[in-house]
Amino acid sequence: MPEPSSRDSRGAVAGTGMGGTMDLAAGEAATLERVPGGPASTGPDSRPRSLWSDAWRDLRRNPVFLLSALVILFLVLISVWPSAITSGNPLDCDLAKAQDGSSPGHPFGFDGQGCDVYTRTVYGARTSVTVGVCATLGVAVLGSVLGGLAGFFGGAWDAVLSRITDVFFAIPVVLGGLVLLSVVTSNTVWPVIGFMVLLGWPQISRIARGSVITARQNDYVQAARALGASPARLLLRHIAPNAVAPVIVVATIALGTYISLEATLSYLGVGLKPPSVSWGIDISAASPYIRNAPHALLWPSGALAITVLAFIMLGDAVRDALDPKLR
């Protein structure tokens, strides 16, 4: 078959014209649409995601997060509404049933005073969750404000706060609780919460300070400062949203620690005291009867261990989701 002449070739090429170019462009666009994540893709993955939406997307697929969240949700439910799963009164005791085992209507048996262990275990969750959540919020707010200001302004403020933080780090937590709470006469959770905030803020403060120092060196902060943004706007709009992730991670893990600390102080007799209901009080009361009534010690200590483990697992999952280096 004879080859087309150069004139015919030029005519064929010229014949493609605008129509050929449009066909080629349409073909390329269709190809891009078929490529997942391509520029022309209209799927949900094509939308830009922030750090928080990315973290939430990872958390929803993390079985550790889902399991710990379900446990914590159940704890919050029985803390707010304990009568949903028990109809007893934690202060109703019968010495005739002291150290008895499980029976119909009393699956966990009775403690040394004849109190229903199941009812006291359920009501003890309210104290632990209240102390843990309130102490964590107080520590996070106070530590974030002080550490954030120190990291942003630096200078003498940073130096003074760093030395104060070092002093608080030198105080043993349990020993400080024994000294400070031994002179408190109020039998409520607020002295315990206040003590935890007083000795717990330095850790969050140091985390917030380092995070703010790192964030303020970014280019977008320098650009906003060059455009005339005020220090308050720089700190609240540009630095704080990008520096709060480490604080959230540390605070979530610390929540379980504060619950354990409350139980420890109550066990030692300087935290909550009877007739308050607390897992630490029940563990302390059941310790002398561990041979005759081990169930009275098993259930409150098991509930405490599961609660602390759930919050630690939640903190680990949040840390993995909020740390881009781990992805």
pLDDT higher for 52 or 277? 277
pLDDT above 70 covers what percent of the chain?
A: 83
Q: Is the pLDDT of residue 32 over 80?
A: no
- Quick: pLDDT tens for 102-131: 989 899 999 999 999 999 999 999 999 999
* pLDDT of amino acid 325: 63
**Rounded mean pLDDT of 60-86?**
93
Among 316, 319, 192, CA closest to 256: 316
* pLDDT of amino acid 185: 82
* pLDDT of amino acid 41: 41
Q: How far is CA 137 from the centre of its chain?
A: 11
pLDDT above 90 covers what percent of the chain?
A: 49
- Quick: pLDDT tens for 182-197: 888 888 899 999 999 9
- Quick: pLDDT tens for 225-263: 888 888 888 888 888 888 888 899 899 989 999 999 999
Q: How confident is the model at residue 164 (pLDDT cuts 50, 70, 90)?
A: very high
* pLDDT of amino acid 326: 57
Q: How confident is the model at residue 64 (pLDDT cuts 50, 70, 90)?
A: very high
User: Which domains are seen in the chain, by residue range?
Assistant: 6-46 (no CATH), 51-326 (1.10.3720.10)
Instruction: Tell me whether the omega of the peptide bond preceding residue 172 falls within 30 degrees of 0, making it cis.
Output: no
Q: How confident is the model at residue 280 (pLDDT cuts 50, 70, 90)?
A: very high
Sign of CA dihedral 182, 187, 192, 195: negative
Q: Is the pLDDT of residue 7 over 50?
A: no
Region of 255 please: left (phi>0), alpha (psi -120 to 50) or beta. Answer: alpha
Among 160-164, 233-237, 302-306, whose mean pLDDT is lowest?
233-237
Task: Say how many C-beta atoms besides its own lie within 10 A of residue 173's C-beta.
Answer: 16
**Rounded mean pLDDT of 85-108?**
91
* pLDDT of amino acid 18: 41
Whole-prediction pTM? 0.79
SS (H, E, C) the chain: CCCCCHHHHHHHHHHHHHHHHHHHHHHHHHHHHHCCCCCCCCCHHHCCCCHHHHHHHHHHCCHHHHHHHHHHHHHHHHHHCHHHCCCCCCCCECHHHCCCCCECCECCCECCCCEEHHHHHHHHHHHHHHHHHHHHHHHHHHHHHHHHHHHHHCHHHHHHHHHHHHHHHCCCHHHHHHHHHCCCCCCCCHHHHHHHHHHHHHHHHHHHHHHHHHHCCCHHHHHHHHCCCCHHHHHHHHHHHHHCHHHHHHHHHHHHHHHHHHHHHHHHCCCCCCCCCCHHHHHHHHHHHCCCCHHHHHHHHHHHHHHHHHHHHHHHHHHHHHCHHHC
Q: Is the pLDDT of residue 13 over 80?
A: no
- Quick: pLDDT tens for 166-180: 899 888 889 999 999
Q: Is the pLDDT of residue 48 over 80?
A: no
* pLDDT of amino acid 49: 66
Among 46-60, 111-125, 189-203, 287-301, whose mean pLDDT is lowest?
46-60
Residues 6 or more apart from 266 whose CB is under 8 A from it?
272, 273, 278, 279, 280, 281, 284
Region of 20 please: left (phi>0), alpha (psi -120 to 50) or beta. Answer: alpha
pLDDT higher for 158 or 55? 158
* pLDDT of amino acid 227: 87
**Rounded mean pLDDT of 296-313?**
94
- Rounded mean pLDDT of the chain? 83
* pLDDT of amino acid 243: 87
* pLDDT of amino acid 327: 56
